[in-house]
Structure 1
Amino acid sequence: MTVKHVLEAHLLTKTYQAADRPLTVLDAVSFQVEQGNSLAIIGPSGSGKTTLLGLCAGLDVPTSGTLSLMGFKLNNMSEDDRAYLRNQYVGFVFQNFQLLATLTALENVMVPLELRGERNVASKAKELLERVGLKDRMHHYPTQLSGGEQQRVAMARAFITSPKILFADEPTGNLDEENASHITDLLFGMNREQQTTLVLVTHNLELAKMTQRILRMKGGKLIEDTINE
């Protein structure tokens, strides 16, 4: 499926009911992302970055405003329909890896394709684990892997479905400088290879500058939209 704008957000607003008053954490944010582009969302803690990422990925629904992912409007979709859409088109990389502790590295990478009902997926999972430098660690469990190795497993899992769009939430946030650099190289390298659209949240300005475009958030508002040279 080919669409010009993989992601379209229009006046996205998210409000929670606090103890005695409503709390708006995202305030009328609008932007579009074209197929194959890379985009970073930056801003201080509490600026709405992660909330925006969750809405864009269909993990939550806005209080108001509209959101389209791959041409599908998410607002009126059921949770099951949004989950199906994510499984077909979306990949995720999180700061805390979110690997299943009872599964080996290989089994963790296989999960997204197995959820689609596909069979004989081990060979593709092995290829991706080799691609991220874990050929000799495939049968280790997450607790037997370092943080950098766990994030490489998460990277392989994210790319196994050849996602149209990849959402990354602080992908290097829990890593030391050497591992962060390696994960960054893998992320952008695999992104180019698969022509995936990349949307990442980061506190790391140097990482953000590697993308084609930066959205700067403050107080729940989009205050700057910059094209990187």
Structure 2
Amino acid sequence: MSDILVVENLKKSFTTGDKTLTVLDDVSFSVPEGASISIVGPSGSGKTTLLGLCAGLDVSTGGSVSLVGIKLNALSEDDRAYVRNQYVGFIFQNFQLLPTLTALENVTVPLELRGEKQYKKKALDLLDRVGLSDRAYHYPSQLSGGEQQRVAMARAFISSPKILFADEPTGNLDEETANRVTELLFDINRSEGTTLVLVTHNLDLAAHTERILQLKGGKLISDQKSMRAV
């Protein structure tokens, strides 16, 4: 099984005035196609920064990221956007739904950006899978937090991504809703065969993945199989 994500000696620093802040320092790991991993660590450990670099949302100060065999560091911003559109799905903590679009329209956005035409049936099928077939024509303001996150989940899977990046996907949800979203996320991810990279401070959520990477102070201090994968 080939690696879909390869991170080598990754470094990210920010300079303000005469001070340099190193957020990530010499981080290396790889993720096989179809695997699931969690990135955990305290606030400020570099988790979200690492996710953004892996997904091509930002570029590193040093080291490299290869995604689906493509070296992201060498690409322009437009080329990185193209790679994301073709291969990547996202789920964020704050849902990031477009408020002027219905649930159905939010789900179809990635395929519209690709120029695909036959997307309505697939979007409705995905909304049905996340239990929202009766909410397809509601706007985000008419949906609960859990419902908005399930719309975001359907949107993430609509383009059949090779890899899904999820940043604290249950962070804004109550425990019961978070458990339902977690179950749906892993069920759909498993059935689609998508690679999953999950950032979370929730160790119970992290335990659902096959492998857990722990960051501290911008360094990768642990890379272990989760107890469920042993």
Counterpart residue type for residue 173 of structure 2: L
Deviations 1:107-151 (A, max 9, x none): 000000010000021111000001100011000000000000000
Give structure 1 regions of 4+ aligned residues with deviation exceeding 6 angstroms: none
- Corresponding residue number in structure 2 for 1:206: 204
1:130-141 alignment runs, 5 A limit: 130-141=128-139
Q: Which runs of 5+ in 2 are unaligned?
A: none
Distance 1:103 1:15 in 2: 37
2:178 to 177, 180, 186: 180
When structure 1 is superposed on structure 2, of 90-99 and 16-25 the one drifting more is 16-25
Give 2:67's aligned residue. 69
Which of the numbers 17, 28, 37 marks the counterpart of 2:15?
17
Is 1:121 aligned to residue 119 of structure 2?
yes
**Structure 1 length as normaliser, TM-score?**
0.98
Percent identity among equivalent residues? 69
CA–CA separation in structure 1 for the residues paired with 2:84 and 2:182: 23
* Number of residue pairs aligned between Structure 1 and Structure 2: 227
Return the alpha-carbon distance in structure 2 between the equivalents of residues 189 and 180 of structure 1. Answer: 14
Find out whether 1:46 has 2:69 as its counterpart.
Answer: no
How far apart, CA to CA, are the structure 2 residues paired with 1:18 and 1:68?
Answer: 28
1:22 is paired with a residue whose SS is: strand
| Residues 87-166 of structure 1 aligned to structure 2 (within 5 Å) | 87-166=85-164
Shift of 1:50: 0.3
Between the aligned partners of 1:7 and 1:41, the Cα distance in structure 2 is 14
Match of 2:214 in 1: 216
- Amino acid across the alignment from 1:15: S
TM-score by length of 2: 0.97
**Helix, strand or coil for the counterpart of 2:56?**
coil
Q: Any idea what SS the aligned residue of 2:135 has?
A: coil
Please state whether the residue corresponding to 1:136 is helix, strand or coil: helix
* SS class of match (1:182): helix
Task: Kindly provide the amino acid, as one letter, of the partner of residue 101 in structure 2.
Answer: L
